[in-house]
Amino acid sequence: MTFFLQLVVTGFALGMVYALVAIGLVIILKCSNVFNIAQGHFVLIGGYLGYTFLVLFGLPIWATLVMAVVVAIIMGLLIERLTLRPLVGQPELAVIMMTIALATVLEGLATLIWGGEYKTYHGVLPTVTLKLGEISVPPESLIGLIVSIAAVTILMLLFRYTKIGLAMRATAEDLQVVQSVGIRATTVYAASWVIACVVGVIGGILLGGVSGVMIPLAEIGLKAFAVVLLGGVNSIGGAIVAGIILGMLENVAAGYLDPLLPRGGLAQVFPFIVMIIVLFFKPYGLFGLVRIERI
């Protein structure tokens, strides 16, 4: 039983991390209907930025966060203006290929600037390890939980009560209508990319503080897609619930089934297996709007 509970708790931690990445995906999706494959790479860049400011420049944590957010805003604006803006109105494949190409370039830049090596700044961030009886709660879960809840609250308020938030939701719904009532769609797109970049970079700093940064960290972006699909592509709350479900399922399945399999490694593919199953039976996810085009 302890084994099972430990798996569940560790899975919960993993799930919060997935949720954090998935939120960035959902924001861009809600605003501009673009599936951003480079989201994992924003996390990667965030981790390396954290390393640069905290360790290389020796800044305190609050200054690091401010600096990283500034960099993220510039990055988001540049990415939207230079790569996504020229593709407005182009077919879906072009836009998705653009985000894939963007991911490749970001990975290349990370390799060029930071050498693609394993960097860690453990202990610089305040980490808490909780112990519940025999089960230890990993610090990722607490940090992930706090940041996710904060992000979700802010974003929900933003989408419900502010003008730009409403404009974002309207743009996702119908570009032509939005333009005819005088909302600048380009501003909305830029805002959505900036928010996604900021969320990704903050997530990266926190993750880097817990588990270190290296290039494979970006693969978390692909796994987060399974979370987004399970939760429903346009539901931020769904992303969190699905993140937790998937993280727990992955950990429990890997914990019990890996010894039975000759090579193990089930955790690596589990999100993808879930993805296929979700796509087969419930393509609009648990909390998504049922409006995916059925053919």
Partner 1 sequence: MGLRCGTFRENYAQDMAIFRTRLHWGVLFAFLIFLFTCPLFFSDRILTVMTMIGIAIISVHGLNILTGYCGQISIGHVGFMAVGAYTSAILTAKLGWSFWPALPCAGLVAGIAGLIFGLPSLKIKGFYLIMATIAAHFIIIWLILQLYNVTGGPDGLAVLKPKIGSFALNSKASYFYLVMAIACLATSLAINIVRTRAGRAFVAIRDNDLAAEVMGINLWSYKLQAFFIGCVYAGVAGALLVHYYGFASVDQFPFMDSVWYLGMLIVGGMGSTAGAIFGAVSLKLLDELVTIVGPVLSKIVAAQAAASLALITRGLVIILFLIFEPRGLGHRWGMIKAYFRLWPFSHEE
Which residues of the shown chain bind partner 1 in the complex (CB under 8 A)? 35, 83, 86-87, 90, 92-94, 96-98, 100-105, 107-109, 111-112, 115-116, 222, 225-226, 229, 261-263, 265, 268-269, 272-273, 275-276, 279-280, 283, 292-295
213 CB-near residues (< 8 Å, 6+ apart): 44, 47, 48, 50, 51, 118, 119, 120, 204, 207
CB of 81 to partner 1, least distance (A): 12
What gap in Å lies between CA 170 and CA 185, rounded to an integer?
10
Question: In angstroms, what is the minimal distance from the CB of 42 to partner 1?
Answer: 15
Identity of the residue, 93 or 181, whose beta carbon is nearer to partner 1 in the bound complex:
93
The percent helix, strand, coil of the chain (3-state, each to 5) is 75, 5, 20
CB of 283 to partner 1, least distance (A): 5
**Residue whose CB is less far from partner 1, 58 or 108:** 108
Measured from the CB atom, the residue of 6 and 36 that comes closer to partner 1 is 36
The smaller minimum CB distance to partner 1, of residues 12 and 193, is found at 193
For the purposes of burial, counting CB atoms within 10 Å of the CB of 153, is it exposed (0-12), middle (13-18) or buried (19 or more)? exposed
Q: How many CB atoms lie within 10 A of CB 232?
A: 25
Q: What is the dihedral of CA 210, 17, 65, 157, to 10 degrees?
A: -150
CB of 209 to partner 1, least distance (A): 24
Torsion of CA 86, 101, 71, 227, to 10 degrees: 110
Shorter beta-carbon distance to partner 1: residue 151 or 224: 224
Q: Do 282 and 53 meet the contact criterion of CB atoms below 8 Å apart? A: no
Query: CB of 292: closest distance to partner 1 in angstroms?
Result: 7
In degrees and rounded to multiples of 5, residue 137 shows phi and psi of -95, 120
Q: Please, what is the minimum distance in Å from the beta carbon of residue 10 to partner 1?
A: 21
Nearer to partner 1, 33 or 127 (CB): 33
Separation CA 252–CA 130 (nearest Å):
21
Give the number of C-alpha atoms closer than 13 A to the C-alpha of residue 60, restricted to the C-beta side.
2
Closest distance of CB 75 from partner 1, Å: 15
End-to-end Cα separation, the chain, in angstroms: 46
Cβ distance to partner 1 smaller for residue 65 or 273? 273
In the block, which residue shows the tokens 């305040």?
126
CB 4 within 8 A of CB 252: yes
Q: Closest approach of Cβ 168 to partner 1, in Å?
A: 19
Nearer to partner 1, 63 or 78 (CB): 78
